[in-house]
A and B are shown apart, each in its own frame.
Chain A
Amino acid sequence: MTQDTVLDSVRDVVADYADVADDTAPLDLDSLSLIQLTEDLEDRFGFVVAAEDLVPAHFESVAAIAAFVQRRAQP
């Protein structure tokens, strides 16, 4: 998957939980939304998020999530 494709897909998933107009804007997610978003990303991209990966650096914005997904989805 290309970087742009991942970014588009992540934006699509995140849109159910937050405003995605700005890829770098901080996401203000409550606990339940973060859990649901995590599991939606797992379903969309086919990997399991580890507890140690659920840190702000990976989930603070659409761009951060896309970068995380890109790294995790790589073989």
Chain B
Amino acid sequence: MRVLRPAALGRPVRLAGVGAYLPERVVTNADLVAAGAPLDADEMVRLSGIRERRFVSPDQATSDLAAEAGRRALAAAGISPAAVDRLLVGTVSPDHPSPGAACRVQTLLGLRTVPSMDLTAACSSFLYALDAAARAVMTGDEAVLAVAADVRSRFVDPTDRATCALFGDGAGAAVVTPHDDAETGLLAIGLLADGKGYDAVKMPAGGSRRPIDAAALSEGAQYVEMHSGPQVYLAAVEGMLGTAKALLDAVELTFDDIAFVVPHQPNRRILDRMGRLAGIPDEKVVKVIETVGNISGATVPVALDHLLRSGSVRAGDRLLLLAAGAGYTAGAALLRVDEALLATVAR
């Protein structure tokens, strides 16, 4: 894995502000049972650690969530929409197959006619967007809005035992800007993809290989499917710990140097296994899964926003963002919190 170190290339970057948005509708495990889920509420907790999640209202789609998270990140950063040079929206659930959700987000936020595009890296999409944003800033952009947003609730079979309780909806965002300090900000980021996992978690219909037709609908092929949950479980931990180790080795640090790990959260048990194998104390692993479920790429920025607003972080703390997702994709980013970012949570 090649690790990008902006400051080492003479162009440090930072996160100027972070924001998150969760739709208002709370869906408990009991609500899912009432809707036909084939396992009881306690089983859902035992299998996943998830007690509730948020679902969109009928009039909301991914771009609405992305815009609100983006608006909050810009407000936190104190940066006007007119100052944004580029918009990246990581999602696997755009409003439509085409055009990209980013163009609607651009309009909702009142950005200029700046480049605006979706990118697809499943649950790793925030880290993929962050990497692209950092590279854009290093090559001349002054402010890039990196968003991850997903509406998973419309793509889950409510009667599928393997997936019905796992997913929620939400969005998170960060404003990425140039920095004047090589010791803080986004210190390193690395990504990888391993297409051997291509079939592990997928939505079989709705793309060019299999358009949605009557047969696909009758099979439920428009929904996300996961045939080997235990194998995906192990692969998710391998993806997060593999990228973490490669990144930490590149910057000559260890988990002991990290104040908080902000991981993707597909399942509480995955977080426990990751901590156990890497020797990370449980209190260092930021967890939001119990109340939001797996919100795909939005999980990491939502957890980061939660952490920054918790009052637990101090200037100089190193945060390790980790993700792994369908594809397989994975990524890790090292963030050293600067005073200015901490000050934004009061805005």
Contact = CB atoms under 8 A, between A and B. Distances in A.
In the complex, which range does the number of interface residues on chain A fall in? 10 to 19
A38 B276 CA distance: 14
B234 interface: yes
B115 interface: no
Contact of A39 (B162, B231, B273): B273
A36 B37 CA distance: 23
Interface secondary structure of A, over-half rule: helix
A41 to B, nearest CB: 12
A48 B277 contact: yes
Nearest to A34: B230
Nearest to B229: A31
A32 B49 CA distance: 12
Contact of A38 (B47, B228, B230, B232): B230
B235 A51 contact: yes
Given A50-B238, A51-B238, A35 B233 contact: yes
A73 interface: no
Contacts of A34: 230
A29 to B, nearest CB: 9
A20 B230 CA distance: 21
A54 B273 contact: no
Interface string A49-65: 11100110000000000
Interface of B: 46-47, 162, 228-235, 238, 269, 273, 277
* Top 10 closest pairs, chain A to chain B, by CB: A51-B235, A51-B234, A31-B229, A34-B230, A54-B231, A35-B230, A51-B231, A31-B230, A32-B47, A54-B230
13 contacts: A31-B162, A31-B229, A31-B230, A32-B46, A35-B233, A35-B269, A38-B230, A51-B231, A51-B234, A51-B235, A51-B238, A54-B228, A54-B231
